[in-house]
Amino acid sequence: MSSKMQASQAGQALWSKMPKANAELFALTYGSLVTELVRDYEDPIEVNAQLDRIGHSIGVRCVDELLSKADVAGMGLATQCQNLRDTAEVVAKVGFKMFLGVQAEVGGFSQDQRSFSIYLQDNPLATFVELPAAGDEQYNGDDLRKLKYSNLYCGVIRGALEQVNLKVECNIVRDTLKGDEVNEIRVELKEVLADGAGDDYKEE
Amino acid sequence: MTVHAIHIFDRKGKTLFTKRYTSSKQSSTQDAEQLSEQRKLIFGMLFSLRELVGSLTPGNGSPALKSVRTGAGTLHCFETISGLRIAMYTNNNPIMNTIGARAPGADNTKTSFQTALKYIYSDIWVECVVRSPLYRPEDIQVDPVEGKENKSGRFDIKSTNFESKLDAYLASMPWFR
């Protein structure tokens, strides 16, 4: 319990230190990015993949940002994340809070402790967003049901955890834009990567 | 000169940045090869030591390796859980090693090497390199061998102001002379 408290306090402390951008501008910029992708790729599945890719690039940067600031908030991360539960707490309470200003909840751990869910009550990316209704011929509603509007999150989480040697797979399983009452991102740990010298080391 | 060299490695042992502050007598081509070999050894040593220390550390203590000291100098290292390793080779600095500086109450947090390396990571590396729009972690151009062809499109740390900021910071430290 204490680690949970600590994580949310640290998240709060970091959030207060981050430079802020206007939330509406942020939501609208993301909206236009997604719209542009939809226009370019047409296939929503492909758009999801692109969003995931963009997110991945963001994630690999975010993690250094978080780690470099973590000590400011008085948490020694290296000793704190002993298991996936701790990691999940940090992602939800520190990561989401620090970069988006919203607090996420963690839950739904699987029996083997290798997967969990992150619940977002409100999603800053989806402000002002409405997906066309199913069966809406004019706006291609049926097709766009397959679009995962906030798939960026999946990429970010994947990229960030990859940098700390955790290979995960993320999926948006519930989405308020599609009428669910909460946004749920399912994160599944695939493997813990081993440290080791890579090809570059050998060739250099 | 107190600081001899600074190297930054990624998780896989690739050199991301390297700079020497003391000049050597050898010719530059021979030198580059030797230095690359040297970096390989440094990373290899840090890596193996880290593994060893990790397996020796009981319980939940932090197994972080901080420095390796020899008769001639000290290798200070700092690693992040994102896999970055910063190694700085200095001589056995008199300021840092006098009993006075370590006495209880003496404020050495501002000058300690660990603090300095942490600052280099969080305020210079993250600021200049990670935030650069061109930064792609898996695709960093390292220059050490002169004359080696530059693959276009690769991110070069030299294109950021990392180096100048690093130099300015190090020069402001009391142990950098």
pLDDT of B161: 85
Higher pLDDT, B11 or A152: A152
Q: Please check whether residue B15 lies inside any domain of the structure.
A: yes
pLDDT at A117 over 90: yes
With CA atoms as reference, the chain A residue closest to B115 would be: A71
Q: Please check whether residue B177 lies inside any domain of the structure.
A: no
pLDDT of A188: 92
Handedness of CA A15, A21, A22, A25 (dihedral sign): negative
* B13 and A CB contact within 8 Å: yes
CA A143 to chain centre: 24
Asked if the interface predicted TM-score (ipTM) of this complex is over 0.95, the answer is: no
Question: Domains in chain A, start-ordered, CATH in brackets?
Answer: 2-193 (3.30.1380.20)
Please tell me the distance in Å from B129's CA to the nearest CA on chain A: 10
The residue-averaged pLDDT of A34-53 equals 91
- Residue A105 pairs with which residues in a beta bridge? A119
In this prediction, residue A25 has a pLDDT band, given cuts at 50, 70 and 90, of very high
The answer to whether the CB of A188 falls within 8 A of the CB of A114 is: yes
Phi, psi dihedrals of residue A103, rounded to the nearest 5°: -100, 135
Higher pLDDT, B63 or B89: B89
Q: Please check whether residue B9 lies inside any domain of the structure.
A: yes
- DSSP conformational letter for B71: S
Domain count, chain B: 1
Q: Which helix (H) or strand (E) holds A170?
A: strand A166-174
Alpha-helical regions (H) of chain A: 2-17, 23-41, 44-70, 77-80, 84-89, 96-100, 141-144, 152-163, 199-203
A107-111 long-range contacts (CB < 8 A, ≥24 apart) are A108/A184, A108/A186, A109/A85
Q: Please check whether residue B176 lies inside any domain of the structure.
A: no
Question: Tens digit of pLDDT for each residue in B77-89?
Answer: 888 888 888 998 8
pLDDT at A110 over 60: yes
Q: Please check whether residue B129 lies inside any domain of the structure.
A: yes
* B80, B86, B136: best to mutate for the A interface, most A CBs within 10 A: B80
Give the Cα-Cα-Cα angle B144, B146, B148 (nearest 5 degrees): 95
Domain interval for residue B123: 3-171
Across the interface, of A71, A164, A199, the residue whose CB is closest to B81 is A164
Contacts A82 to B, Cβ<8 Å: 60
pLDDT of B139: 66
Question: Tens digit of pLDDT for each residue in B3-19?
Answer: 888 888 888 888 888 88
Q: CATH number of the domain at B40, please.
A: 3.30.450.70
pLDDT of A17: 83
- DSSP conformational letter for A177: G
The number of beta carbons lying within 10 Å of the beta carbon of residue B64 is: 18
pLDDT at B171 over 90: no
